[in-house]
DNA sequence: GTTATACTCTACTATTATAATCAGGATTAT
DNA sequence: ATAATCCTGATTATAATAGTAGAGTATAAC
């Protein structure tokens, strides 16, 4: 697994929307400013997240983005797998890989498999509600606005 | 952590040298043929591995490469950290990262930290002697030549 | 119904990482 | 000597990543 800027932006945007879950929509402009993300890039990311069912949007004057589900129902793993690179650490599970003559005998693959599983166990167990809780703890019971 | 072809090649070359530990040197040509790696690319990889102290080389007519240490003293983690991309799944531990305004409060970072640790626990616990043992088990007590 | 505000969509560009290739030069056993 | 082998540095090709640009569409408010 490798978290790119795009994935990082996606996670932060969702966290911000989670913090404002139940409120009015947050505009792209607003999110971009708060999260320090190039606005046109964030547009693309949010559109993708919408297709993935993570967020909803409202157009027009009081439009913006909303979290599509309660924060407790979205895990880091779901977002990472959807928007970022594969969780697997190596190409040998992907198409067209030709580094192995006999994949069944590859002893490395077993190790990468274990790494994948360990990674998934972690990212699939963390929800955005958990992250909000962590923020409160770090910030004396407040939901910090600086992400 | 993301294993590239380069890292994959490095690991396979070391495994092959481990299998032949105590024998005559293996030439780049030989390794490239057996492992199905572009020879000029493998040259670069082996040179790098030499600088890292993983392998030794002999020039001249019966030259080639040798493992610099017993297979039991080289872990996957050592090689991966040396030759491949960073084990950490994200850029926020690297230089020049500007996706966080306040790194100390970043709740994601804690998760990536846990992923790193879990990954390291695995790759640091596997030696090339372990891998050789696994090959034997997969191949009815033989050390398979097809990697 | 006009307008301001916001999202939507498609295409393009720059930068970097990855993978591979090329052309020789240096060393050493025989 | 010479053939086999490693050594060195430059170059190229491809793809992924990150970011930019601009025209279009929907909607709430007036």
Name beta bridge partners: A26.
Answer: A65
Asked if B1 and A3 come within 8 Å (Cβ–Cβ), the reply is no
| Token duo for residue B15 | 């495994």
List all residues 6 or more positions away from A28 whose beta carbon is below 8 Å from its beta carbon: A39, A42, A43, A46, A64, A65
The Cα B54–Cα B48 span in angstroms is 9
Task: Flag whether pLDDT at B91 surpasses 80.
Answer: no
CB contacts of A11 in chain B (<8 Å) are: 108
- For the ranges A23-32, A87-96, B27-36, B111-120, the lowest mean pLDDT is seen at A87-96
CB contacts of B90 in chain A (<8 Å) are: 2-3, 8
Query: So what's the pLDDT on residue B3?
Result: 92
Query: So what's the pLDDT on residue A131?
Result: 96
The Cα A62–Cα B144 span in angstroms is 66
Higher local confidence (pLDDT), A62 or B99: A62
Task: Flag whether pLDDT at A76 surpasses 60.
Answer: yes
User: Whose C1' is closest to the CA of A29: which nucleotide?
Assistant: C6
Task: Flag whether pLDDT at A102 surpasses 70.
Answer: no
Q: What is the mean pLDDT of residues A92-99?
A: 58
Q: What is the mean pLDDT of residues B10-28?
A: 96
The proportion of chain A whose per-residue pLDDT surpasses 90, expressed as a percent, equals 72
Query: So what's the pLDDT on residue B139?
Result: 78
Q: What is the pLDDT of residues A25-60, one digit of tens each?
A: 999 999 999 999 999 999 999 999 999 999 999 999
| Token duo for residue A67 | 């979290």
Task: Flag whether pLDDT at B145 surpasses 80.
Answer: no
Q: Which residue has the tokens 């400013």?
A: A33
Query: So what's the pLDDT on residue A46?
Result: 98
Q: What is the mean pLDDT of residues A59-88?
A: 93
A86: confidence class by pLDDT, cuts 50, 70, 90: confident
Rg of chain B (C-alpha set): 18
Closest alpha carbon within chain A to B85: A2
Q: What is the pLDDT of residues A103-116, one digit of tens each?
A: 566 899 899 989 99
Asked if A139 and B100 come within 8 Å (Cβ–Cβ), the reply is no
SS3 state of residue A12: helix
- A42 CA → C11 C1’, Å: 17
Q: What is the pLDDT of residues A121-133, one digit of tens each?
A: 999 999 999 999 9
B84: confidence class by pLDDT, cuts 50, 70, 90: confident
Task: Flag whether pLDDT at A92 surpasses 90.
Answer: no
Asked if A85 and B2 come within 8 Å (Cβ–Cβ), the reply is yes
Query: So what's the pLDDT on residue A89?
Result: 78
Q: Do A66 and A58 meet the contact criterion of CB atoms below 8 Å apart?
A: yes
Task: Flag whether pLDDT at A8 surpasses 90.
Answer: yes
Asked if B8 and A108 come within 8 Å (Cβ–Cβ), the reply is yes
Higher local confidence (pLDDT), A25 or B137: A25
The Cα B35–Cα A108 span in angstroms is 14
Q: Give just the sign of the alpha carbon dihedral A13, A19, A22, A28.
A: negative
- A86 CA → D8 C1’, Å: 36
Query: So what's the pLDDT on residue A138?
Result: 85
- For the ranges A93-102, B116-125, B132-141, the lowest mean pLDDT is seen at A93-102
B88: confidence class by pLDDT, cuts 50, 70, 90: confident
Query: So what's the pLDDT on residue B30?
Result: 96
């Amino acid at each position: 697994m490798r978290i790119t800027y795009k994935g990082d932006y996606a996670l932060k945007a969702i966290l911000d929307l989670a913090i404002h879950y139940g409120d009015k929509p947050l505009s792209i402009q607003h999110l971009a400013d708060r999260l320090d993300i190039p606005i046109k890039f964030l547009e693309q990311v949010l559109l993708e997240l919408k297709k993935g069912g993570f967020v909803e949007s409202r157009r027009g004057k009081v439009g913006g983005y909303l979290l599509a589900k309660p924060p407790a129902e979205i895990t880091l793993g779901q977002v990472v797998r959807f928007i970022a690179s594969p969780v697997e650490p190596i190409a040998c599970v992907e198409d067209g890989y030709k580094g192995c003559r006999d994949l069944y005998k590859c002893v490395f693959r077993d190790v990468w498999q274990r790494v994948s599983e360990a990674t998934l166990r972690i990212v699939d167990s963390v929800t955005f509600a958990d992250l909000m809780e962590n923020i409160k703890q770090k910030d004396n019971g407040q939901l910090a606005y600086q992400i």
